[in-house]
Amino acid sequence: MPSPLFADRSAQPPEPGAVDALITRTRRLRGDVDAVRRDAVAGEDGPHHRWQRALCDLAVHQLDDLGAHLGQLKAGLPDERAVDSSAAYAPPPGPDAPRSPGSLLSRVGSAEWDLLTDEVHWSEELFRIFGRPRQTGPLSLDELPSLVFAEDQPLLQAMVTECLIDGKPIDGEFRIVRSDGRVRTVHMTGEPVLDDTGGTASMWAVLRDVSELRRSERAVRESRDSLHQHQRIAHAERRAAVELQEAVLPPWRGSLRFAHEGPAPLDVAALYLPAASTGLIGGDWYDALTLPDGDALLTVGDLTGHGVAATSSMAMLLGALRGMAVAGIRPGALMGHLNQLLETAAQPALGSALCCRYDPTARTLSWAQAGHPAPLLFRAGEGRALSRPDGMLLGATGGAVYEEAETPLLPGDLLLLHTDGLARSGGTPDDTTGRDRLLALAPRLATARDAQECVRAVVAEFGDGPRADDACVMAVRVGGGS
């Protein structure tokens, strides 16, 4: 009884038009996936991109296999002179043409073992898969395990025994070691061929070299596991950064009154806004503190970076700032000390900061800045940015000098302090679009009942859109009579 593998299937050919259409669609899809794979290769080399590239490689291998099968379906069963010449995308090469180890033409072979005559038939492709010269002859079922990994031999022997004795089809994989030392993974499917009495006369099988496919699947699994591990680490780091930030920033929410014993107390409210695009916690801070002499400390700032490193540096800097302010150090000198601290820190960073000291008796604001947006002063329904005293970024250079400015305030005045992530417009450093949008809020801020409502108005204008960086905003309203 002839093997189903070598039987004449021309009696029921597939519809040529339908198969051609499938081949065309497979080619097109394969090209599209290959283009996506090239883009992924040219991208960044993070865990997410490695996972994308591995998936693309796997998809390409599977589409190549699909194209090969469709090509066989279109051509019909090849005769014994050209068994398994399954070229889906190109005509078969000549007999002397080189074939790459990973090409489709070397990945599918066939075999038949005749139990009555002990004859064995291997296709040309199967010799290539096993790395055996044709003149050495095919391997019998007893000889086949000699090339199989020791741990895979029981599986192969069980499959062959169940096929020959119980008539069960074969479907399994095992690894072989070729004569050149290369290890290949082979997927074997087959069935017994029965004689007229129902006994097993022979066994046929199709063997596919699935090494590249399994390698791609393994790469997908490994890259996916790496991506999940990266995500778990990122989640843990973000949680630690959030907890550290919550421990350092002021615990108060809503409006609070500062310097309330003086004739012009302050109504203060502030808010931290995380980055909308990354979800990472940065080094932005805000703080308001009543000092021992009755003055009020008002500060906002921003350190470069995100995550635990940025928040830990922020915690160190804010702690030093509070301590020096309580000790009576003025804003300009205080900035100089912060610059020295950041410059000599074990973890180098740059930062911008605004440090203000408010005297409720004199109603004056003494302040210094380090590469930071100036406070915005809103008075009588109009707003303007205060003139910045000189001061470069913290940590940029040693021995920097920070000038100090003094601004008189009136009852009803509103100060808006913010980090540059709030109103950054994405243009040049001199672009004032964001600042102009803040100043345009003057009529709305003039009618706000308290500092908290002023913060809500700013968030309504800037808080809903995507931000590339986190930000802080603080509203400070001066109370008291005229």
Could you tell me the pLDDT band of residue 259, with boundaries at 50, 70 and 90?
low
Helix (H) or strand (E) holding 232: helix 211-248
**What is the rounded CA–CA span in Å between residue 364 and residue 367?**
10
Per-residue pLDDT, 141: 93
User: Which of 6-10, 136-140, 321-325, 337-341 is the least confident region?
Assistant: 6-10
Taking each helix axis from N to C end, the angle separating 16-42 and 47-75, rounded to the nearest 10 degrees, works out to 160
- In 327-379, where does DSSP find H-type helix? 331-343
User: Are residues 421 and 461 in contact, defined by beta-carbon separation less than 8 angstroms?
Assistant: no
Element containing residue 38 per DSSP (H, E): helix 16-42
Most confident of 240-249, 340-349, 381-390: 381-390
Q: Is the pTM of this model over 0.75?
A: no
pLDDT per residue as tens digits for the range 265-304: 899 999 888 776 555 677 888 999 999 999 999 999 998 8
Please report which residue ranges of 141-296 form alpha helices under DSSP H. 153-166, 211-248
For 232, residues 6+ apart whose C-beta sits below 8 A from its C-beta are none
pLDDT band at 2 (very low <50, low <70, confident <90, very high): very low
pLDDT in tens, 450-481: 999 999 999 888 866 666 678 889 999 998 76
3 state SS of 223: helix
Instruction: Report the alpha-carbon distance of residue 271 to residue 462 in Å, rounded.
Output: 12
How far is residue 164 from each of residues 7, 143, 159, 219, 465, measured CA to CA in Å?
20, 16, 9, 36, 70
User: pLDDT band at residue 1, thresholds of 50, 70 and 90?
Assistant: very low
